[in-house]
Amino acid sequence: ASELAGIAVRLPEQLGAPSIMQVEPAASMHFTVDVEQLNQVLKEIGLSDLELPESLDGADVTANMPSLVFAGYGECETSETQDAPEGYDPDDPATWPVISECTTLSQMASPTVEAPAGLDLQQLGQVYLQILGMTPEEAQRFSENVDWATTLVVPMPSTGAAYRSVSVDGVTGTFASYQGAGKDYILIWVKDGVVYALQGMGTVEDAMEIANSLK
pLDDT tens sequence across 48-106: 776 777 878 888 888 888 899 999 998 886 544 445 555 656 555 445 444 457 899 99
CA distance readout (Å), 35 to 52, 69, 107, 171: 6, 35, 32, 35
At residue 187, the 3 state secondary structure works out as strand
The whole-chain average pLDDT of the chain stands at 79
119 or 18: which leads in pLDDT = 18
Point out the least confidently predicted range of 24-28, 42-46, 59-63, 128-132. Answer: 128-132
Greatest mean pLDDT among 67-81, 109-123, 160-174? 160-174
Give residue 170's pLDDT band: very low, low, confident or very high (50, 70, 90): very high
Question: What percent of the chain is helix, strand and coil (3-state, nearest 5)?
Answer: 25, 30, 45
Find out whether 23 and 69 touch, Cβ atoms under 8 Å.
yes
pLDDT score of 112 more than 90: no
Contacting residues for 142 by C-beta, under 8 A, at least 6 apart: 129, 134, 163, 165, 174
pLDDT (0 to 100) of residue 80: 45
pLDDT (0 to 100) of residue 22: 93
Average pLDDT, stretch 17-22?
Answer: 93
